[in-house]
Structure 1
């Protein structure tokens, strides 16, 4: 395997990377899809996805892979907004040739998901399941009917062997008012609604499916775990913000990995599910390790900046935040293995695959060694501290003053 240590940079924002089959696929707001060799970072091919849309806050939606078809959002109407989905030849040895186009009328794409036999698209008006081979519609359903001044729209799709999932958000048009959201599951074959769970939560809800669980985190600090088949609540908890702002968080909004602007505080982002545990990142500057069955908190790692992205590799937990902070904690104890600051504004996405840690941040994509942090920006080295926290801190809650990078 090639030594980690490459990086790819763009003039515009990049999506979170998709790593599969020895390739890294990333969508850029420069109007292109870029496919790189996962081991070396060398470009394999580049495909046009429509008009560029420079935007300082919102990265494009990441691509998804359905068999050997790579599905990406596209801007075909000239506005720069994602108003279509393209199916490209995306397997190893392919050149990104376009196979099909699924255009939208009067709306924009809000989410993509896929597995080997389906591409799922959400927009403000519908949830649609497509055939990945030719882009033909298997079925489509409208969002639920809202009462009074509220309007519902879909996003955050996911798919497994039995169901297609999505979040239906209730909002008041042309205002910032939030009416909560509905977590929904649909029959994969027909689109028939199977169950729905109403939540009086906040903006920024994310949906993650793993094993027999559906996990949702939102902008009011709620982390909700549902049974996949029935929608019954297994457990839920609310993660509160810390007093004051996290280290160097600032007062300006930054983009979330989901494409939404957010502030430091209560937002709970996408977890990582293990066999017995769930790692839950929060904008309050902590990552919680919770028992998968009960929700009991087993460990808390203090990061000190909003934890935007996490990944696990062997015995390490990797956390990315704003101001380019990248930290690797030991998973079995509250101790830092290494940390470094990268020359990016924020680290939106972390992925571990084939022994490498892929780091996505604003206009940058890089591969580093997950065990040491070595690679890519060598002038910004990883720092190893065998005793990163002060003596006597094992039995108390850490503060920002305890952190070596504060």
Structure 2
């Protein structure tokens, strides 16, 4: 809880504003008081979002969902105005602590308390689902432990139950580690998804860690979809069996909320009312009174302008009975990464984030861009590269899913980002939308010759047409119809854009007109149809594409004439196929089986091959960083430097628990992030130079001599040496 700043409102909807409670992706949350003296929580939308029609629609959904839901275990909505210049809503103020904060501060709950908590949350889900609503973001920070029992809050991404099963493919919402597999895959999400999230929340309450551990967003999403939950820490066998049933991958195999309520109510030794069901030390934290912050010089105790008459009227209006919602809101703080008294310029940590970072960082235009949230309900955050302060936030920008990267382009004072089924042009200075154009469900913005090139609207990654729009205005300039599905976004080199069809055709398009300069047929070979690997690669005077046998075809970029086709193939590698990169005189070919081949650029002959001990996730993470005569790869939790000429191992650095990413080079050293830390290594010998961070470090990137990466809850910048 913080004192009001000069720019904060003093009254919203007839409610007196007393203090700041916190800040999230939609807006700030204040502690308020009604005319009759009742404590309320007031959420006011950020000014930069109020002018966005798409955001207003999302906010109106939150209001509608909150109005529809009642019951003793949710936070009742008191008032709202989605149409106000600065939209707002008012809910009952729930003093206490979030489950996240309580467990982090006091440790896991004993089994009887977890059983009672489960009964209360199951009853809340019954009320939510009875109202025709699916919460879709149940997690420890959205569960409040209050003096009156456990409550469920935040319906910001809730949907009507009848619409929850028609989610667009590729769209996911929720919090990684707690969202169900069907939401992670974007194939739907109904009431059964809330039951999955409830199981994950109970596992956290019982063990202090979610059932899929900690890590980067894409790592958690991968585990949710493909790996069993980790429930060994739940000692109570009956509770463990119930949680396991909730966490079934198949929604049809999970118990319903009503069934779960009945079973947990039988097991709970006490009803989840008051604080008697909690351990005494946790109950004491929840009921501990915390006074309001001191008002500023021009304010009275209730936040209104002070006067002698008002001072007399307000004597005795103490806030000692209001407990802080510690940990239930995200606080805006920027602090130094290093523990020096004065941080070095460009060195910072930003945890002013409404959700965990998912995509980026991407460094461009003096800003650092990250997404928070996943799927089309994510938001794009622009951060000042020098100070680490948040410049703006744009709602409705697609956050990457598992093993994919943030698709973003920046040019001419405009940021081009992907929405749910459109590409949005946002002002670099303020994040406001200038224009948007419809695109496929999985658009990738590609800039060339002052144009934005994207798949045709209403199509998928097998789009049969590309459309080019004026990058300044969004006006359509040309359309190219291949007559066959296209496997990925085009690769641009000079004035040509290279496009692969999934029936063995490669096209070179004039970026200004969309006319085909040449077309090359690769016989009967099908090209990979997954956008993660099929984009053509241009380098060293050749254009490389792969087919679904794992063969590499090298073409002349100017004419399309085939230079060579590799004799050796990787074999069919499932959805991940194979990936190619070009560095110096070598074409590197990686496959999903954990094999790396070095092909001679001139004739495609194999110069050397290296088989890692086990396969990774996507072969593109195995493609090496090539520098100083070394090809540096990550596999098997080990950073490996191979001799670029012979493939011989030059050095190894083991003990990096996996995050799928490639090492980066900055300030003459190699840097790599893992689930445990971010480390720097000597390029020539692999000697450990330093540990930059002892937190999970994902999506590490370098710009100049500065490293940028996402931690579990924050974005970081640190000098590379």
Fold agreement, TM-score > 0.5: yes
The yes-or-no answer on 1:72 pairing with 2:375 is no
Shift of residue 288, structure 1, vs aligned partner: 0.8
Tell me which structure has the larger Cα radius of gyration: 2
Against the structure 1 CA distance between its residues 295 and 108, is the aligned structure 2 distance closer, same or farther, given a 3 Å change threshold?
A: same
Shift of residue 209, structure 1, vs aligned partner: 1.6
Determine the C-alpha separation between the residues in 1 that align with 2:551 and 2:467: 29
Query: Secondary structure in 1 aligned to 2:570?
Result: coil
Determine the C-alpha separation between the residues in 2 that align with 1:365 and 1:161: 41
Shift of residue 328, structure 1, vs aligned partner: 0.9
Shift of residue 233, structure 1, vs aligned partner: 0.4
Out of 195, 206, 210, the residue aligned to residue 478 of structure 2 is: 195
The yes-or-no answer on 1:269 pairing with 2:534 is yes
Shift of residue 367, structure 1, vs aligned partner: 6.6
Q: Where do 5+ consecutive residues of structure 1 fail to align?
A: 1-10, 12-25, 33-42, 54-59, 144-151, 173-177, 244-253, 259-267, 380-406
Question: What do residues 225-255 of structure 1 show as CA deviations (whole Å, max 9, x unaligned)?
Answer: 1011110001223435669xxxxxxxxxx99
The yes-or-no answer on 1:164 pairing with 2:429 is no
The yes-or-no answer on 1:344 pairing with 2:615 is yes
Determine the C-alpha separation between the residues in 2 that align with 1:329 and 1:256: 23
Query: Secondary structure in 2 aligned to 1:294?
Result: coil
Determine the C-alpha separation between the residues in 2 that align with 1:49 and 1:199: 42
Determine the C-alpha separation between the residues in 2 that align with 1:156 and 1:29: 19
Shift of residue 325, structure 1, vs aligned partner: 1.2
Match of 1:113 in 2: 408
The yes-or-no answer on 1:142 pairing with 2:142 is no
The yes-or-no answer on 1:285 pairing with 2:550 is yes
Match of 1:39 in 2: none
Larger proportion of strand: 1
CA contact (8 A) 1:113 1:159 kept: no
Determine the C-alpha separation between the residues in 1 that align with 2:360 and 2:368: 11
Shift of residue 52, structure 1, vs aligned partner: 6.9
Against the structure 1 CA distance between its residues 63 and 185, is the aligned structure 2 distance closer, same or farther, given a 3 Å change threshold?
A: farther
Determine the C-alpha separation between the residues in 1 that align with 2:435 and 2:637: 37
Structure 1 vs Structure 2 CA RMSD = 4.3
Match of 1:303 in 2: 569
Match of 1:87 in 2: 381
* Matched length: 301
Structure with bigger RCO (C-alpha 8 Å, 6+ apart)? 1
Determine the C-alpha separation between the residues in 1 that align with 2:598 and 2:408: 29
CA contact (8 A) 2:503 2:524 kept: no
Against the structure 1 CA distance between its residues 125 and 322, is the aligned structure 2 distance closer, same or farther, given a 3 Å change threshold?
A: closer
CA contact (8 A) 2:485 2:503 kept: yes
Larger proportion of helix: 2
Determine the C-alpha separation between the residues in 2 that align with 1:241 and 1:200: 16
Against the structure 1 CA distance between its residues 161 and 297, is the aligned structure 2 distance closer, same or farther, given a 3 Å change threshold?
A: closer
Question: What do residues 140-173 of structure 1 show as CA deviations (whole Å, max 9, x unaligned)?
Answer: 2234xxxxxxxx546121113511111125449x
CA contact (8 A) 1:184 1:195 kept: yes
Q: Where do 5+ consecutive residues of structure 2 fail to align?
A: 1-176, 178-214, 222-346, 655-721
The 10-residue stretch of structure 1 (234-243 or 211-220) with the greater mean CA deviation from structure 2 = 234-243
Match of 1:313 in 2: 583
Correspondence 1:304-383 to 2 at 5 A: 304-305=570-571, 306=573, 308-342=578-612, 343-345=614-616, 346-349=618-621, 350=623, 352=625, 355=628, 357=631, 359=633, 368-369=641-642, 370-373=644-647, 374=649
Shift of residue 213, structure 1, vs aligned partner: 0.9
The yes-or-no answer on 1:223 pairing with 2:488 is no
